[in-house]
Structure 1
């Protein structure tokens, strides 16, 4: 009495078996049995998706690798026929090409070479000339490309087979091409031999699309302005390279020029000796002055006087003026378009944008004389020449030579001498100083 009695357990009914508790292992097996269908379905779905994706990717790769054939659209009755692409015929080597595959010669003999030519060859300058002048000159007007004209062979237009023109065949029959003498912005120059007598010549070619100015020869034949001006100054004067003949091909203007047996341009002539003595420089400079005066008397302005454009005969010592690709007619008024080599341009061009023909020629002659007696250009590349620029000269030079160089390189063009003043100068005339 006083204690709480625990509740009484329910007694099982009579005749029914007593339930037994399920062990823990049996519970786990029941849970696994219930989850197995679920995981089996998930695994099968993943494997199916992976397999279908791989097969689809494989089919896509095979489809991309398979070449596609374009279906031709149906043509109507009146549709024009489709043009067929024909292969261009291979041209035989022209007059400016040898059988070894050398490119056509095109450019002046003073164009910049890719490598220094050997001694005894007409070489090119260190700096290619700038594009030719744009000013209007008498006789402008370029004939059509189909109009074949020549100074040696009539009718050098394209032949019936469109392979080698008659002028090209004539050039191949008359000359045998040799080594490359020089190349530059306008093309190449090759040494050649005249087959009739074995005389050495130089073959120079200029692409037709680079000829900007045309003129007329005395017989009325239309020709590039370079040929017209060279024909005016080279006749009867040995100080200018002689034009033997010229031919007009479908794509090139070819000029055949004289070439001494042993010759060298003045640039390499100076480089081989580092510098020239005043006696040798005086003789060459006098010849150049006479050649320039002859050109101006004929109404021709060279505009590209530099050592690379002067050819020296090593046997006779005679100097010849070459490369009239930048030349034009001489005029009294100022030029507003430059043609030639930039490092030889006068200061009035770089600062004012104009120049006069004779004054600019005197300036380039002063640079030429400085290069002969000093072995180098008086102004460094890229140097801005100011009006108060003082030119320093070596003391080993005579006072007359120093005065002549400074006179030619006067900053103001009105202070420079004329060609006649230079020819009468005591140093040029080799008059001893009292």
Structure 2
């Protein structure tokens, strides 16, 4: 779900095989939601760790007493995201609201608290690592789950970052793509599979160039066996899901990373306009791209999942390491 001022962007996402609608009625503004349920604060650095809101047990104060809620940043099948300011120190944050009836999976946090799976996964990956958005606090209300997330003051989701430039130079794309690979490897090391990697779910800090992976609403635990339920964005799903109805986590991630890299350096999705991918598809790439970049995109978008690189293979790829082959 992109952090983009007033934009309703992205593509339909699927959770367990069901497309979730993007437009949802908003019965209450977040500023009117009283904090009556459980509250938790995730450990780790926030915009200002020393002034982070501490765990509050049953919070009684109203949300507007702690945050000044601003404009809508994005809306998706799993909730709405608002810009906000933390009143205690003026730190910019994002507040994500998810209707409880859209939370399909719950699990337990390390302290035994029951929480939506998205929060449990974020708790595993967002502490002490700059490439994943930090979960600062979460609140369980009667009808909604509210997450307070870090928000760099000057930031833009990667989709709009690319669109503003038509396409990215290989040098800029390499710097951002490496960071995404690091974030994916970090999540994998914690046993978490994001499942919805796309430009809208990568936030770029315009002041530092730091890329951050956001929106774990489609996330799952990493497993060695094949997944037989799809969650994510259909236009980023690998051909084995479309044709066979199953996929492996790493291979599907590599496929989506190939689409991501294509969007970075070409400015568009390689399989746009809903065109079905055939087993004998020929990927046409601009001649201005280096042979190393073209090779990497084609490798990631290999039709057979066993032909794709592993995540570790990517770190040693000549293009990633900026090595020009003769």
Partner of 2:44: none
Correspondence 1:423 to 2:315? yes
Give the one of 150, 157, 166 matched to 2:39: 150
Q: Structure 2 matches for 1:76-225, cutoff 5 A? A: 109-110=1-2, 117=5, 125-132=9-16, 148-151=37-40, 152-156=55-59, 166=60, 169-225=61-117
Give the one of 105, 121, 125 matched to 1:233: 125
Q: Which one has more relative contact order, counting CA pairs under 8 Å at least 6 apart?
A: 2
User: Secondary structure at the residue paired with 2:13?
Assistant: coil
Partner of 2:249: 357
CA displacement at 1:150 relative to structure 2: 1.9
CA displacement at 1:132 relative to structure 2: 4.6
Partner of 1:340: 232
Q: 2:206, 2:70 → 1: CA distance?
A: 20
Partner of 1:271: 163
Correspondence 1:244 to 2:157? no
CA displacement at 1:297 relative to structure 2: 0.7
- Which segment drifts farther, 123-132 or 199-208? 123-132
Whether the 8 Å CA contact 1:133–1:326 is kept in 2: the answer is no
Q: 2:279, 2:129 → 1: CA distance?
A: 39
CA displacement at 1:154 relative to structure 2: 1.5
1:202-250 Cα offsets, whole Å, 9 max, x none, are: 0001011111111111111111000000010001111000000001011
TM-score by length of 2: 0.87
Structure 1 moving runs of 4+ over 6 Å? none
Q: 2:5, 2:65 → 1: CA distance?
A: 27
Q: Structure 2 matches for 1:284-303, cutoff 5 A? A: 284-303=176-195
User: Secondary structure at the residue paired with 1:348?
Assistant: helix
Q: 1:382, 1:273 → 2: CA distance?
A: 24
Larger fraction in strand: 2
Q: 1:296, 1:185 → 2: CA distance?
A: 25
Q: 1:210, 1:132 → 2: CA distance?
A: 12
- Give ranges in structure 2 of 5+ residues lacking alignment: 19-35, 41-54
CA displacement at 1:286 relative to structure 2: 0.2
Q: 1:124 to 1:358 in 2, by over 3 A?
A: farther
